[in-house]
Amino acid sequence: MTKTILLITALLATGCASQRPADDLYRDLGGDEGVTRIVDAFLVHLAEDELVVDTFADTDIAEFRRLMIEQLCDLSGGPCTYGGRTMAESHAGMGVTPAMFNALVADFIDAMDDAGVPQGAQNRLLGRLAPMYGDIVEG
């Protein structure tokens, strides 16, 4: 038991210490083309998701698409700077519930599957998106 814990701690430490280039995740997502593919697939899944689709009734979809591509590029270390509002600002008053947030995450995972994103890159991107929960969900 102790050995197992030591081994896993060592592996984790090694993982943290290894120096990856800053844009490593962006490249694993497939760069601009890959990120665009994810967002376009995401929009398709959103449109088919009864739980969340109404939330986007008043959204300018073209602008949403542009900003989301920019944000994922920025978040994954690509050559972009997200210029939109913060997640807290853009979701204020929308009444996003935990169930809706979960549905969005499931749609996003489906979109990454559609876009052919490898499992490891999916996990790393989800790890950077997950902390947004507190800014997006109300209550």
Question: Whole-angstrom Cα distance, residue 81 to residue 78?
Answer: 9
* Piece of the chain touching other proteins by CB under 8 A; list 54-62, 65-73, 83-91, 93-101: 93-101
The residue among 81 and 119 lying less far from other proteins, judged by its C-beta, is 119
Angstrom distance (rounded) from CA 74 to CA 23: 9
Is residue 87 at the binding interface for other proteins, with CB under 8 A as the rule? no
Q: CA 49, 53, 59: angle at the middle one, nearest 5?
A: 145
**Least spacing, CB of residue 60 vs other proteins, in Å:** 26
> CA 79, CA 77: separation in Å to the nearest integer?
7
- Please list every residue from 15 through 34 that binds other proteins, using CB under 8 A: 15
Minimum CB distance to other proteins, residue 56 (Å): 17
Which CB sits closer to other proteins, 61 or 130? Answer: 130
> Could you write out the DSSP letters of every residue in 54-87?
GGGTT--HHHHHHHHHHHHHHHTT-S----S--H
Q: Which of 110, 123, 118 is nearest to 40 (CA)?
A: 110
Residue 116 binds other proteins, judged by CB under 8 A: no
Q: Is 133 in the site for other proteins (CB under 8 A)?
A: yes
Residues forming the site for other proteins (CB under 8 A): 1, 4, 8, 11-12, 15, 51, 97-103, 105-106, 109, 119-121, 123-124, 126-127, 130-131, 133-134
